Amino acid sequence: GFGSVSCPDDTMSLDEDARWLEWVTKQFESIAGDDKEIDLEEFKTALKVKESFFAERFFALFDSDGSKTISLDELLKALDLLIHGSETDKLRFLFQVYDVDEWSVKPPRIVSPLGHAVYCVQLSSGSIDPDELRTVLKSCLRESAISLPEEKLDDLTLALFESADKDNSGSITFEELKAELENFPEVMENLTISAANWLKPPGLEQKKGRHTPRYLTPAYWHNNSRKLLFLCAYTCLNLLLFITAMLKNAEGGFWYMVAKGCGQCLNFNCTFVMVLMLRRCLTWLRATWVVRVLPLDQNILLHQMVGYAIVTFSTMHTTAHFMNFVHLSQNSSYSLWEHLFTTRPGIGWVQGSASLTGMVLQIMICLMVVCSSTFVRRSGHFEVFYWSHLSYVWVWALLVVHCANFWKWFVVPGVIFLLEKLVGVAVSHMGGLYIVEVNLLPSKVTHLVIKRPQFFHFKPGDYVYINIPDIAKYEWHPFTISSAPEQPDTLWLHIRSMGQWTNRLYEYFRQPDSQVVSTKRLSASLKDRRHQRSAQLSENHRFCNVKCFVDGPYGTPTRQIFASEHAVLIGAGIGITPFASILQSIIYRMRKQNCPNCSYSWCENIKDSEMKLRKVDFIWINRDQKSFEWFVSLLTKLEMDQADEEPEGRFLEMHMYMTSALSKNDMKAIGLQMALDLLAKKEKRDSITGLRTRTQPGRPEWGKVFQKVAEEKKGKVHVFYCGAPALAKLIKAQCEHFGFNFYKENF
Give residue-wise pLDDT tens across range 264-304: 999 999 999 999 989 889 888 887 888 888 888 888 889 99
Percent of the chain with pLDDT over 90: 15
Nearest one of 124, 122, 128, 126 to 171, comparing CA atoms: 128
pLDDT surpasses 60 at 747: no
* DSSP character at residue 606: P
- Computed over its alpha carbons, how large is the radius of gyration of the chain? 32
Q: Which region among 138-142, 205-209, 334-338, 430-434 has the lowest average model confidence (pLDDT)?
A: 205-209
In this structure, the strands spanning 121-123 and 117-118 are unpaired
**Sequence-distant (≥ 6) Cβ neighbours of residue 698 within 8 angstroms:** 657, 658, 659, 661, 662, 663
| Residue, of 429 and 239, whose pLDDT is higher | 239
Q: Which region among 251-265, 336-350, 384-398, 453-467 has the lowest average model confidence (pLDDT)?
A: 336-350
C-alpha 484, offset from chain centre:
22
Q: What is the pLDDT of residues 142-154, one digit of tens each?
A: 888 888 888 888 9
**Distance between CA 211 and CA 53 in Å, rounded?**
44
Q: Which region among 54-63, 432-441, 686-695 has the lowest average model confidence (pLDDT)?
A: 54-63
pLDDT surpasses 60 at 533: no
DSSP per-residue codes, 110-136: EE-TTS-EE--EEESS-SB-HHHHHHH
Contact present, 493 and 466 (Cβ < 8 Å): yes
Cα distance between the two ends of the chain: 41
Q: Please, which pLDDT band fits residue 535 given cuts at 50, 70 and 90?
A: very low
Neighbours of 61 (CB within 10 A): 20
Nearest one of 73, 86, 76 to 113, comparing CA atoms: 86
φ/ψ bin of 684: left (φ > 0), alpha (ψ from -120 to 50), beta (otherwise): left
pLDDT of residue 2: 47
pLDDT surpasses 80 at 445: yes
Nearest one of 240, 220, 239, 237 to 228, comparing CA atoms: 220
Q: Is cis: bond before 345, omega within 30 of 0?
A: no
Q: Which region among 32-41, 372-381, 595-604 has the lowest average model confidence (pLDDT)?
A: 595-604
**Distance between CA 41 and CA 59 in Å, rounded?**
10
Contact present, 338 and 345 (Cβ < 8 Å): yes
Task: Report domain 432-510+540-555's class.
Answer: mainly beta
Taking the CA of residue 209 as centre, how many other CA atoms within 13 Å lie in the half-sphere pointing to its CB?
A: 1
Nearest one of 163, 195, 185 to 176, comparing CA atoms: 163
Q: What is the pLDDT of residues 352-363, one digit of tens each?
A: 788 888 999 999
Percent of the chain with pLDDT over 70: 80
pLDDT of residue 143: 81
In this structure, the strands spanning 695-697 and 652-658 are parallel
Q: Tell me the residue type at 730.
A: L
C-alpha 479, offset from chain centre:
16
- Arithmetic mean of pLDDT over the chain: 78
pLDDT surpasses 90 at 433: no
Q: What is the pLDDT of residues 656-668, one digit of tens each?
A: 998 888 777 677 7
Angle of the 174-181 helix axis to the 150-164 helix axis, nearest 10? 100
In this structure, the strands spanning 110-111 and 463-467 are unpaired
Domain ranges for the chain: 226-419, 432-510+540-555, 558-592+609-660+698-745
Residue 689 CA: distances (Å) to CA of 142, 322, 440: 17, 65, 19
Phi, psi at 145, each rounded to 5°: 55, 40
Task: Report domain 558-592+609-660+698-745's class.
Answer: alpha beta
For the segment 220-225, the average pLDDT, to the nearest whole number, is: 77
Q: Tell me the residue type at 437.
A: E
pLDDT of residue 244: 94
**Distance between CA 118 and CA 82 in Å, rounded?**
11
**Distance between CA 600 and CA 732 in Å, rounded?**
39
Q: Tell me the residue type at 616.
A: V
Do 558-592+609-660+698-745 and 432-510+540-555 fall under one CATH topology?
no
pLDDT of residue 15: 63
The length of the chain is 747
Neighbours of 711 (CB within 10 A): 8
pLDDT of residue 525: 43
C-alpha 646, offset from chain centre:
32
Q: Please, which pLDDT band fits residue 644 given cuts at 50, 70 and 90?
A: low
pTM: 0.75
Listing from the earlier edge strand, what are the strands of the sheet with 541-554? Answer: 477-480, 463-467, 541-554, 433-441, 445-451, 490-496
pLDDT surpasses 60 at 118: no
